Structure 1
Amino acid sequence: MKRFSVLWVDDEIDLLKSHLMFLEDRNYRVETCNSGQDALEAVREQPFDIVFLDENMPGLSGLETLTELKRIDASLPVVMITKNEEESIMEEAIGSKIADYLIKPVNPNQILLSLKKNLDHSRLVSEKTTAGYQQEFRKIAMDLSMVRTHEEWAELYRKLIFWELQLESIEDRSMFEILESQKSEANQQFGKFIEREYPDWISGEYGPVMSHTLFRQWVAPVLEQGPTLLLVIDNLRYDQWFAFEDVLSPYYRKTSERSYYSILPTATQYARNAIFSGLMPLDMEKRHPEWWKNDTDQGGKNLHEADFLKAQIGRLGLDLDWEYHKISSLKQGRNLAQQFRTLKGKDLVAVVYNFVDMLSHARTEMDVIKELASDDKAYRSLALSWFKNSPLLAIIQEAQALGFRLVITTDHGTINVKQPSKVIGDRDTSLNLRYKTGRSLTYEDKEVLAATRPEELRLPSITMSSSFIFAKNDFFFAYPNNYNHYVSYYRNTYQHGGISLEEMVVPFIVLDPR
C-alpha cells in the first residue's frame, strides 16, 4: 500500500506530537511547518499528498496560505483546521475549494477519517464496489435463469445499469469485463423472451405499456394534474437518463420512474410516430395514409407528429390547450427557451428534442466523435456534457419557473453493435443496420427475429411478399458486397431498430417542480 505524505502547518506544532506519532504509526509520512511561508517553500521543494493547515497563524494567515498553495498546485487537497467557527471564515475556505474543514480541538481519529476520505477514498470505494458486485453477480446470474415477465426484465436491466455506473469509476477493469459479459448474456436471453412474447403483446392479450399505448395509459393521467411539459428526447438510453438525473435535482423532484417497451422496429419513424398517434404502424398506414410513409417512400418519415397527436387527443376526448415543438438544431432550442414563457397557461407542451439521436449518428460518421465516444462510458459523458450546456436545460428551467410538471421519456434506445450478421436482399430492401424490410431476404436465422407476416406484428408491408427481420443482441446487418469495409466502418457504432434491452426498455419519468 502506498505511504502517503502529509504536510502539517501550525504555529503550535509542538503541541501536536501525539497526533503526529499516531499518523506515523499508521504508515503516513508527516512533515511539519510553523508558518505559512515555510509551507509554501516546502510544497515548492517536494510533492505532498495532502496539507493540514491551521487557519490562525502569525504572518501569512491560513486563508492567505491556502490561496498561495492553490496557485502552486490547484489539485493539492488542503484541510483547514481552526478554532474560529465564524460562518464567513467557513464560506471563504469552502469557496477556495478546501478538501475538509475541522474545528479544534481535533482528535486523532478525526484526522485519520479526513485522510481516509481524501486519500484512500478511491481505494475504499473500489474495494466496496467490487465486493458488492461480486455478491450481486451470483444473484443476477440466478435471476437470468428465472426471469419470466416484462416487469422482471425491466428490473434486471436497471440493476445491470446500476452496477455499470458503479463499476465504471473503479480501477478494477476485470469486474467491468465480467459485467459486460453478463449484459451480453442478458441480451441473448432477452432476445428469446421477445421472440416468444412479443406477438401476444401486439395482439393485445397481455403485455407492458408500449409506444402506442404510452400516451393514453401514462401521459394522459399526468395531464389531469396540471400543466405538463412532455419531453421526448430521441434515442435516450436508460443509462443516459441516470447521468442526467442529478443535473435536474435543483429544479425538479422525481415523483415516479417506470419503464415502458418500445415497439419493433425500435426506430424513430415507427416508435415515435406510435407515441404521438397512439397507433401501431399498420394502423397508422390504414387510418392516415396521407401522413404515414414506409421505409422506401421518399420524404421525411416524422413530419406529421403534431397531426398524429391532434388526432389522438381527439379520439381520447381530451379538452386540452396544447402545442408541439420539434428541436433539431441549436438555434431552434435557443428560440424555444427564450419564448417558453409565452406558453404559460398551456395544458400540454410536447417537445421532441433530437440531439442524442444526432449524437448517435455523428458517432457513426465523424472520426472526432468516435474518439470522444469510444464506449458506453464515454458516450454517456459526452451526452451529459451536452445536456449541462444545452438549450434543453434552459427550457426545463423555464418550465420549472412556470410551474409545469415535467415528463421525460424517449422513443427508443440504442446499442453499441459489434457483431456483423450477413443479409441478402433486393434493391428495395430498407437500409437500417438493425432491422430490414423487403422481399426475398436471406439471413442467419439464429441472429434475427423474422416476421414473415408483418401484419401479425401490426407492421405495414411494402409489397405483398415483404417481411421484416430484427437483429438481436449486438448484431448489425452487413451485405456480402464489400463486406470487410462495411463491417470495419460500422462495428462499434451506436445503432437502433433491433432487439436489445438497451433499445426496447426505456424510461418514463414524472417530475414535479421544486
Structure 2
Amino acid sequence: MRNYKILWADDEIDLLKPHIIFLKNKGYDVTPVNSGSDALDAIGSDVFDIIFLDENMPGLTGLETLSRIKENYATIPVVMITKSEEEHIMEEAIGAKIADYLIKPLNPNQILLSVKKILDNKRLVSEQTNMSYQQEFRGISMDINENLDFQEWIDIYRKMVYWELRIDETEEKDMAEILNMQKDEANAKFCDFIYESYESWLNNADIEKPLLSHRLMKEQVFPLMGNEEPVFVFIIDNLRYDQWNLMEPIISEFYSIESEVPYYSILPTTTAYARNAIFSGMMPDEMAKKHADLWVGEEEDEGKNNNEKEFLERNLSRNNIKASISYHKILQKNQGKQLVSNVNNLMSNDLNVIVYNFVDVLSHARTDMKMIRELAPDESAYRSLTMSWFQHSTLLELLRILSERKVKVVITTDHGTIRVKKPLKIVGDRNTNTNLRYKVGKNLKVNTDDVFNCKNPEDLHLPRPNVSSSYVFAQKNDFLAYPNNYNYYVNYYKDTFQHGGISLEEMIVPLIHLRPKN
C-alpha cells in the first residue's frame, strides 16, 4: 500500500496530535493546518488523497471551506468533523457530497475506519471478493456435477451471476477468468440437463416442471387481475439476469419486490417462439395450428411478432377472462414519451402490457455497428450500456410515476442472450433460417454431437414447415456457421450477443412482482 497523504484542518489541531501520530504509525502522511484558509493554501501547493475538515472554525467555517474545495478540487474526498449533532449541518454537508461525517470526541479506530473505507475500499473489496469466491468455487463446482433439478439450476445460475457482478466491481478482476471457465463448465452440464429433461417437461403431465413461457400469463399475470388495481406487465426483450440485478437497486428505491419467480424460456429462445408463447399461452406448434391467421412461419418474410395483442386477447378469451387491456410496443423514445403522457388513461384498464425492445436492439446493434462493438467489448461493458439506457429511459420514468399509484407491476422478459465464441459448421438448403443459435430446415447436417438435434419437431411442440424439416440448437457459447465464406462469417459474428439456443443465460430469465412502496 502506498503512503496516502491526509490534510487535516482544525483550529484546535494541537489537541488532535495523538490521532495524527496514530495515523502516521499506520503509514499515512498527515499535514495539519489550523484554518480553512490554510487548508485551501495547502491544497493549492500539494496533492492530498483525503481531507479532514472541522466544521466549527473561526474565519472560513468548515462548510464554507468545503464549498471552496468542491468548486476547485471536486474529486478529493472530504470528511466533515464536528461537535454539533444539528440535523441541518449534517444535511448541508451531505448535500455538498462529503465522503463521511464524524462527530467529536473522536475515536482513533473510528478515524482509521473512515480512511480505509474511503481510500482502501476498492483494494479491500477486491481482496475480500476474490478470497470469498475462491472459498465458494469448490462448492459450486461440486454442485454443478450433481444431478440437479430445474430449481437447483436456477440457484446455481443466480449464484454465478452474483459472483460475476461482485468480481466485476473489483480492480484487478483476478478471478474473472476462473469464473468464466466455471460458467462454461456449468453451461455444458446445463445443456445435458436440458437435453434429458426438456421433452419430458412438455409431454409428461405427471412430473414436476418449471414455469415455461406459455404458462406465464395464466399462472403469473391473470390471477392478479380483477382486484380493482390495474396490472402493468413490462416485457423487456432480451433481458438477462445480470442486467436485471443491476436495475434492481434503482427500482427498489420506490418498489418492494413481492416475489422473484425465475422461469425457463421455451426453445427456440427467440421472440418469434418464446414471446409469442407468452402472449398466446400456447406452444409454437399449437399456435401454428389453431391461430394460422396470426402465426408467421420461418419461411415467411414478414415480422414474426406483429400479432402479440391478438394472441393475448385470444388467450384471455380462452381463459374466460373479460377485461379491458392495452398493448404497447416501445421501439423509440417518442413512443415511450407518449405512453408516459397517457398514463392516466392506462389506469382505467385491467391489464396493460408494455414491450420494451431496446435491449434486443442493443444486442443486434452491437453485432452490426463497429462503434457499438467498441463501446461494449465485453460482458461488463454490455451491462453498462444497458444500465445507461435504463437510467435515462421512459421505462424508468413510467415506473416512477406508477410507484405513486395503486397498481400491480410485473417485470419480465422473453429470453436472454449469450456472447458466442465457438463456431460449428452446418449445412442446410437455401431456405434454412438465418439465426446463429438454431436452425430449422431440410437436410441439416452438422459434423458434431455438440448440438441438440431435434429430428421430430413434434416432440418439442415445434411446427414443421416441411415434411423433412428438423431443428438444430447450438449449446453453451457455440454458434452455427455455413461453410461458404466461413472465415469471414466467423470473424464477423464471434464475440457477438446472440439468442435462440440453449444456455443458462438464454433460458433462465427473471420474472419479478413489484408493489409500490407508496
In the other structure, the counterpart of 1:400 is 403
In the other structure, the counterpart of 1:231 is 234
Deviation by residue 1:220-264 (Cα, 9 ceiling, x = unmatched): 223255321011111010111111111112221100001111000
In the other structure, the counterpart of 2:253 is 250
Deviation (angstroms), 1:401: 2.5
SS of 2:410's equivalent?
strand
Map 1:58-457 onto structure 2 (within 5 A).
58-205=58-205, 206=207, 207-225=209-227, 226-457=229-460
Q: Distance in 1 between matches of 2:62 and 2:354?
A: 52
Q: Distance in 2 between matches of 1:96 and 1:136?
A: 40
Deviation (angstroms), 1:106: 1.1
In the other structure, the counterpart of 2:33 is 33
In the other structure, the counterpart of 1:465 is 468
Aligned identity (percent) is 53
Q: Distance in 1 between matches of 2:98 and 2:173?
A: 31
Deviation by residue 1:170-216 (Cα, 9 ceiling, x = unmatched): 12333111100000100011111111111111114332110111111
Q: Distance in 1 between matches of 2:497 and 2:489?
A: 15
Tell me how many residue pairs correspond in the alignment. 514
Letter aligned with residue 473 of structure 1: K
Q: Distance in 2 between matches of 1:2 and 1:447?
A: 51
Please provide the CA RMSD for this pair: 1.2
Q: Distance in 2 between matches of 1:444 and 1:401?
A: 57
User: Bigger CA drift: 495-504 or 317-326?
Assistant: 317-326
Letter aligned with residue 227 of structure 1: P
Q: Distance in 2 between matches of 1:152 and 1:82?
A: 52
Q: Distance in 2 between matches of 1:466 and 1:89?
A: 73
Contact 2:130 2:174 in 1 (8 A): no
Letter aligned with residue 162 of structure 1: Y
Q: Distance in 2 between matches of 1:44 and 1:128?
A: 36
Letter aligned with residue 430 of structure 1: N
Contact 1:341 1:398 in 2 (8 A): no
In the other structure, the counterpart of 1:3 is 3
TM-score, length-scaled by structure 2: 0.97
Q: Distance in 1 between matches of 2:154 and 2:85?
A: 50
Letter aligned with residue 253 of structure 1: S
Matched, 1:511 2:511: no
SS of 2:513's equivalent?
strand
Deviation (angstroms), 1:37: 1.4
User: Bigger CA drift: 311-320 or 273-282?
Assistant: 311-320
Unaligned runs of 5+ in 1: none
Q: Distance in 1 between matches of 2:465 and 2:297?
A: 7
SS of 2:19's equivalent?
helix
Contact 1:213 1:278 in 2 (8 A): yes
Deviation (angstroms), 1:413: 0.3
SS of 1:174's equivalent?
coil
SS of 2:403's equivalent?
helix
Letter aligned with residue 389 of structure 1: H
Contact 1:5 1:29 in 2 (8 A): yes
Deviation (angstroms), 1:359: 0.7
Letter aligned with residue 220 of structure 2: W
Contact 1:478 1:486 in 2 (8 A): yes
Q: Distance in 2 between matches of 1:368 and 1:219?
A: 39
SS of 1:308's equivalent?
helix
Contact 1:327 1:354 in 2 (8 A): yes
Deviation by residue 1:307-330 (Cα, 9 ceiling, x = unmatched): 111111111112322111111111
Contact 1:229 1:399 in 2 (8 A): no
Q: Distance in 2 between matches of 1:328 and 1:187?
A: 32
Q: Distance in 2 between matches of 1:502 and 1:272?
A: 16
Moved over 3 A (4+): none
Deviation (angstroms), 1:64: 1.4
